[in-house]
Each structure stands twice: as C-alpha cells, then as structure tokens.
C-alpha cells in the first residue's frame, strides 16, 4: 500500500461510462459497496462518484484477495467490459485483476448498501453514523440534488443582474429582535451569531440594487421538533427600485418555478428513486388573501379559523392541496399578512395588514416575502415602536443607509435545507442537512 493511489496503466473510467467500451480492458477505482455469492461466482459492486459498477470475480486468486475485506475497502480493478443489461449502467467487468488500495476489515456500524430508513425512530442512529451513512446511494443523492439546487438558484440570480455578497456572521446586535441568539465573547465585547443578513442586504441595495447571499444563519431554538435546527443555510435576496410589491412576489415565484422545474427535468431518475412526488407547478402561482383562505377552509371543513391572525398549520397544508387540485399548482401565496405579525422593517399597507405575503409550498410556509419600509422617518417610528434603539451600534449603519437614500425595495429569504426537503418530499428538514444541529446534537 503506497501513500498514493499508484498511477494506473490505463486512465480511470467512472461507473456509467463502461458501456461504450464493450470488450475492452479498462481500469476502475472505487469503494467495495456490496459483495455476494451467486452460483459459485462472487459479484461485487464498486462505488464511485457516479454510481456503481458490477464486477464478476471467478478466478480463485482474485476471490482470495477479497477475503475478509469489508464494505468501504478501496480497490483498483482492471477487467474486461462485457455489456450486460441487468447490471447497473448496462455493463459489468469480467476477469478482474484486483489491487487493494485501502483494506477495511471491520463492518460498518450502519448498512450502506440498501436504502436507509428515515422513520423518525431511526433518525438518531442515522445521524450518529452520518459520516458513513452518507455513503449510501440514496442519502448521497439528496445532497447531489441539493448542490444542483444551489447552482440553479445562483444561475437564475446572475441572469438577473444580482451580485453575490458575503456579510458578517459575527454581529453586534440581533436583527430579528425576539428570537433566541447564540452569543460569544469577542475580545471582551459581546457578539451574537447572525440570525439573518437582513440589515446588511438592505444596506447593500444602496450599492448594487440587487444582491443575494447563501450562507449559514444561527438560531438558538429551544424546540426539538422536525422543523427546528439551530444552524440553517439561508438564501437571502433583496431587490431595489421595485414599482410594486408584486414585483418581489414575481421574483420569488419565477425563481422557485425555474429551479424546481429544472430539477425535475434534469434529475427525474434520481427523484423517482427517492420516491419524490410528482411536481405540479404553474408559472403563475395562485394568490389568496388570508381572509379568503380562512373562508375557503371553513366552507370545505366546517372549521372556523377566521379569528386567527395567521394561517394555522392545518390551513397551510389544506390550501396547498386545494391549489394543487383546483389549479394544478403546489405553490401558493397567502397575501395580506396582519400587522400584528410584522417585523419593524416591513412596510404597512394599511392599518390592518402589511405589504407582505407568505409563500407556501407542499403544505408549509417556505418564505415570507415583504416590501421593506424604506422611508427614514417611518422606519424610525417602527423601530421605536418595536423597542429598538436606532442609534445602537448594531442598527446605526442600517439607519444611515436609509437616511442617505434607499429606493423602494423588497426581498425574501428561505432555507436551502427546507427547500431541499420539500423539493424531494422528505419528511424532516434534518434529512436535507449533511450534519444537522439541534438542541440535542452538536456532532458529528
């Protein structure tokens, strides 16, 4: 065993590409993923970054090399390609000559060669052994699709003149007021971990008009539900010179539509293997007011939620199903969010409601999409009403940006984790996070 994989005589081929080399001797490298005996032959599956290659081992000396080797062993194999429709990728390797690059002699603590259970009682085991469980093909596919979503989102935004920004995660104040924050000693001062780049992205509208960021955000959530994690990856978008709130709604609608339809088009096979539901989206999402939703829900179910200021979780689910059936669209906007739910930086529409809408997708709110209050005097009023000191170090630069001219603007943020979960149809946001963090879990 040398310190590097030795330079092979032949270039390494990846799984899925062997079919084009029928009859040739080729070279592959990868992990031993499965081993089984069938009719006196040893069949092994070799995993690489593209998938699996099946190898048929007949020769006794070669079979002997595999003795005692466990899943995860790293092998280099030269063999003859034989097209075989039943094998993954339509071809398998015969007459292999095996080199053991890294032997593994203990069994993995978690099965990685068959689909892992995501039942909630098994999630802890799954996360305890996450470093190995991710080698399972299904698990890995989730994160391959997540990487694609990130790519699609950025391409959508670049196409529309958005600039990517990186804002600090160590900040002097807490932007979102109420919610819990993590604190750290910062050379004798107190710093908090940013819950959101809200203030920074609005400041940056004054520079670039259109900005976005994809970065971690931190929330010291005491709840231990499937919805709550203490570290999320957030997409944040902000756009200036809007001529109406609708322009912001259209932006997030177009983004979600393009990104999801592209995912379902380019990765249909993987989504099918993950049992993802069929995607039903229309380019224009239905828009209902909160009052309308309460009314429709009451008519259908007999339950009166008209006194609720917000939608109940049941209503969120219900309206998505309703729109899916009636409008063939699983995403909807719930407009006219009440003032009692507003943040200090939202814009009021009238005395009851704000210029804001919730974007719901597959039964859950994935984003709140407001216009911001960009008028200096009104913002100061709203800050004071929220008990925030506009002159405090955490807020002074934000207030200065407004005082020195910001145009009408709006934006939104949503969790990449949540988007991945819902895009694939998983049941827990943690399944869409490589190494999730919650109240009970700080490792791996």
321 or 352, CB closer to a copy of itself? 352
Number of residues in the chain: 444
- Least distance to a copy of itself, CB of residue 403, Å: 7
Structure tokens at 147: 């990487």
Quickly list DSSP for 204-230: HHHHHSEEEEEEEEE------STT--S
What distance in Å separates the CA atoms of residue 279 and residue 423, rounded to the nearest whole number?
8
Contact 149, 420 (CB under 8 A): yes
- Least distance to a copy of itself, CB of residue 234, Å: 10
Contact 366, 357 (CB under 8 A): no
Structure tokens at 192: 């908090």
What distance in Å separates the CA atoms of residue 190 and residue 243, rounded to the nearest whole number?
40
28 SS3 class: strand
Structure tokens at 34: 């499965």
Q: C-alpha dihedral over 186, 188, 189, 195, to 10 degrees?
A: 30
Contact 336, 351 (CB under 8 A): no
- Least distance to a copy of itself, CB of residue 123, Å: 16
How, if at all, do strands 51-57 and 91-102 pair? parallel
Structure tokens at 271: 């989504």
209 or 327, CB closer to a copy of itself? 209
Contact 234, 216 (CB under 8 A): yes
77 or 320, CB closer to a copy of itself? 77
- List % helix, strand, coil for the chain (3-state, nearest 5): 35, 25, 40
φ/ψ of residue 218, rounded to 5: -125, 130
What distance in Å separates the CA atoms of residue 114 and residue 1, rounded to the nearest whole number?
30
264 or 376, CB closer to a copy of itself? 376
- Least distance to a copy of itself, CB of residue 37, Å: 22
198 or 233, CB closer to a copy of itself? 233
- Least distance to a copy of itself, CB of residue 10, Å: 12
- Least distance to a copy of itself, CB of residue 323, Å: 27
- Least distance to a copy of itself, CB of residue 391, Å: 12
Residue 98: CB atoms within 10 A of its CB come to 23
- Least distance to a copy of itself, CB of residue 142, Å: 11
- Least distance to a copy of itself, CB of residue 376, Å: 8
């Amino acid at each position: 065993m040398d310190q590097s994989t030795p330079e092979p005589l032949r270039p390494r081929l990846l799984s899925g590409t062997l079919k084009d080399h029928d009859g040739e001797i080729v070279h592959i490298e990868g992990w031993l993923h499965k081993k089984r005996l069938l009719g006196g032959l040893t069949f092994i599956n070799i995993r690489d970054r593209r998938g699996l290659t099946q190898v048929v081992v007949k020769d006794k000396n070669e079979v002997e090399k595999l003795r005692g080797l466990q899943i995860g062993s790293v092998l280099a194999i030269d063999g003859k390609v034989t097209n075989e429709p039943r094998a993954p990728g339509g071809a398998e390797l015969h007459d292999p000559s095996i080199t053991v690059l890294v032997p593994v002699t203990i069994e993995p603590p978690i099965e990685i060669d068959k689909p892992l259970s995501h039942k909630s009682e098994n999630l802890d085991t799954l996360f305890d052994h996450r470093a190995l469980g991710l080698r399972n093909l299904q698990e890995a596919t989730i994160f391959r699709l997540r990487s694609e979503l990130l790519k699609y989102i950025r391409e959508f935004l670049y196409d529309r003149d958005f600039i990517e920004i990186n804002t600090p995660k160590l900040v002097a104040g807490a932007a979102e007021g109420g919610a819990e924050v993590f604190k750290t000693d910062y050379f004798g001062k107190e710093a908090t971990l940013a819950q959101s780049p809200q203030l920074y992205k609005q400041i940056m509208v004054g520079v670039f008009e259109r900005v976005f960021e994809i970065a971690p955000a931190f929330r010291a959530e005491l709840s231990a539900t499937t919805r709550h994690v203490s570290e999320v990856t957030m997409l944040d978008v902000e756009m200036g010179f809007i001529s109406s709130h609708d322009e912001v709604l259209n932006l997030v609608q177009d983004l979600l539509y393009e990104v999801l339809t592209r995912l379902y088009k380019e990765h249909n096979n993987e989504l099918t293997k993950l049992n993802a539901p069929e995607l039903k989206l229309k380019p224009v999402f239905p828009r209902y007011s909160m009052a309308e939703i309460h009314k429709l829900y009451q008519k259908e179910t007999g339950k009166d939620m008209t006194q609720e200021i917000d939608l109940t979780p049941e209503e969120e689910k219900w309206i998505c199903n309703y729109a899916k059936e009636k409008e063939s669209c699983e995403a909807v906007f719930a407009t006219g969010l009440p003032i009692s739910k507003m943040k200090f930086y939202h814009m009021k529409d009238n005395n009851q409601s704000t210029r804001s809408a919730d974007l719901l997708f597959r039964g859950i709110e994935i984003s709140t999409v407001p216009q911001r209050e960009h008028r200096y005097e009104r913002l100061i009023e709203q800050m004071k009403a929220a008990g925030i000191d506009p002159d405090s170090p955490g807020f002074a630069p934000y207030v200065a940006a407004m005082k020195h001219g910001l145009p009408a603007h709006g934006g939104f943020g949503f969790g990449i984790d949540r988007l991945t979960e819902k895009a694939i149809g998983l049941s827990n946001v943690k399944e869409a996070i490589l190494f999730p963090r919650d109240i009970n879990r700080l490792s791996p």
